[in-house]
Structure 1
């Protein structure tokens, strides 16, 4: 009986233990999770205190060092700029001072050279400069190529006598200018003027153009009239002639108007002479063209004197007065530059 009671008690204890076992496991699991959470919190706090705290301080120090370095760099750059500016100002002052000293020295040398009498070489160089200036004037103002060539040749002869190597650029420029001038086809202005004067002298002998019916018509062989009416008609036809002219007929000048034609022709030829002296190509051609037109219109073309006058004007119309001329100022510029380079 007692054994049965013990067995019953054991069974009840086993049943109770089975009922309490799931609750203990849940409590153990909860305890383990709580422990893990506490451990994670402790680890996070350790990370914050041990790692992040010193890194922030280090970052702040690095940032402060970088800011200081930037300020130092800016200050150094400002210092360099100030030093460079000071150096430039000092260099400019030195250059200004040096330039003033050079000018003073050059002025002193110039005064000393001016007080001394000119040497024979200086006299000859002055003569060369004068010849070159006159040559430029004759070529530009009067377009006289021959005179310019003679003046440049005379200047080159003087330079050859000096035999100074420093004047080599001047002689080189002279050689080039002489070659350019000799290649220019010069116009004989004096000859052109005299040719026009010869045409003017023949204006008095120029005959006016006569009407075409003034000439004697060629005889026409007609049959002898047979009746009275034919005889009267032939007689009247010998006194009266009717001619047909096709196109417009230009008016002829009256004999008393020949004086005005001569004066106008003389005026055109004199204007052409003046244009030739001034090298005015347009006025020269216009004057000769007007004179030629009047000769062909109002003067008898059958006369030899008229043919010669027209032929002479045609020849003069082919003359080119305004031919481009070369520049001969290089030798003068080189000579002036050599004067400036000579102490």
Structure 2
């Protein structure tokens, strides 16, 4: 039993010796590599800190020169204004909403206002004119106009039809539309003519009080909804001609069947349609050529000795 204990003790000691040897053989090179990598990282960090200090000093020197040297300050200022103007010009060329360009123009005008040089006044004058043009184009509220169109469509769908003087059973003959050369208008008129052959809306012609039947009411409401949906589509795609034509057709349809509606509600909807038709939803052709040309002339004057 004692011999077995001595044998196990020797095995344990041997295992410890082997473990220490393996740790030294394989762990020491890894530890040296780790120490070398740590030293290299420390050296790189020191280099970065030195470079950062130099860059900070250079920036402070440049700022001091800009603040003390009027010509250099004006060059710096014109460069910042030019950056804002070129970004704004690119956004206008891409067809962006003019409202998104206004912050850039206001920032450029604020930079120009901070200048103490009277030579920059022509640039402020050009900026003021361009700002006025962009502000005028940015006044259209697309979400608000969409909600107004949607509200008109909802009111028309919910608007009850009043008793009207009696109607003859003779349907109104369809009037041939004037020749239309534009493709979408022609297709729309042909579709409406085909629809009128299927369902005819009759007009008042006698003294008895009746209501239009359900089929006629549904046909009229469908027609109104289709026209307003077309106006909404045109609004979202900034197609002013389609927008105006759809609202005009809606108004004419309402006038044609005015006696079927409550006059107060009809007049309110008609006034809203008139207000919507007064809007022009097309983006005007905007550019900042005036301000950019003035800026180029100022920068060229600074470069000329």
Q: TM-score, normalised by structure 1?
A: 0.44
TM-score by length of 2: 0.49
